[in-house]
Structure 1
């Protein structure tokens, strides 16, 4: 292409990049993912409780559930959310890869898709285009109920897909991350197989492998999904608003610990690049504790926190 052609092309009006895509192909993928990682884990969790009559809960099952719940939850809150979505800190390459793998094992979707959807959520929080807002279905009781169900569950069945070239260009440039991201289904399967293997080896019987698979894999996926969905639903409907940000994000202190700190959601929307979501001593934030521990070990650095004076000046009176 010669210089004249280049100048001519540059003078043409540029079409704005599309923000979202919607197609039958995308919707089929979304429905399949919903069935595989939302419907089936729910049924599997029911089966796990029914099977307690024949397969009593072993201490190994409790440990496996707890360890994999915590590990994959940290993969989401510290990895997918605070690191990849908001760059709240800088991580050594092995730590970044580990966080990505743990996030993939949580079965909440590939990291690239998750981050693109989350960045769009912040861009349009509780406004048209926010794909999982519970506040766009009317003010009546039935509207509130529809909004809750939509935000907690049904939005995943069918929704617009954000243009990743627009929302995550920084991540698309990292070939190693993209290669790992494409192995999503492998890591989900690994996250199911590993607790089954450990359970079988520890108990040295096939029942241990089965219950390890159920409690460390299937039930854990279901609980993690419910926990993350509560951020979309409850944390935009119920709780306190310490900071005015033009949306309905709320803090739920009573959910702080079991959501790895995610339930301090209004704090997060006020200071989205902060590595800490809990901004007061009583706002428990295991995700930040983990980040701080990695910082002490020198594995992460440049940990971003809002200035105390800014927190005080922007906090709503009486909160």
Structure 2
């Protein structure tokens, strides 16, 4: 197996790269992004790369620029250890969120990921509503989600947490692990075999860096403790980076995210809240708003207690949030097209 194949290169990507190879460019994979500089893994080693002027000019938004995990076409200057990025290959998956704050733009957290590990800890910081948000974005990304509950060695009774996670996941694998004792780690390693890519996503302090170090087999990432008053953690990872694992797989570690604003989650919403959608399909009217309409199956399920009030409220909240983000993005893209035509 070549180095590129170890990084996830395959026949489909080779076919998509044919026109770029005809121009003398070579493929590489982004392992680190920092202030518009990129570290690229290529067949001939690691290169430091920057964007070509044409690629930067033609980009309408962040989605058109490389992110960690992306495959790119580069003109390599191996003797200098540098390269220029000319294009981004089609993505098989893309985990995105709205940028934090008031600006309505997309932030790509990781690309071309096979498995998304949604990491939460077995302590007071376990938050079912936040886990639903992560699960929604994971489904929309095109990758397969796996819920990972860490710090099993510190939890005397993990069963209630497992039950809540399984109820939220609706068939998504749930693993309770301890990076300290090794409990459950074999189940995690099975998802990151040779040529496969996984990403760690979760809030600060849930044990992502500790889990990554256990998979790497060495303490390469900094680890910080949690606050005793609320079991929340401090940021230790400050950027997104991809690592090669001893197993031959690849792991993308990401900074902890307290603010998870939604971005383009149409299909993911129905997959994450499959139970809510199933109940709603029993309403008398197809356009039922679940407020005062007669024959509303959702209101009846809420009264009967067969549908969780908190889960339903979170569904409506994220539905409205996603619709708002879609409207803002549509307006932003139209403005970007006008600016491009003027230039």
- Which structure's relative contact order is higher, taking Cα pairs within 8 Å and 6+ residues apart? 1
TM-score (norm 2): 0.23
TM-score (norm 1): 0.24
Structure with more of its chain in strand, by fraction:
2
Structure with more of its chain in helix, by fraction:
1
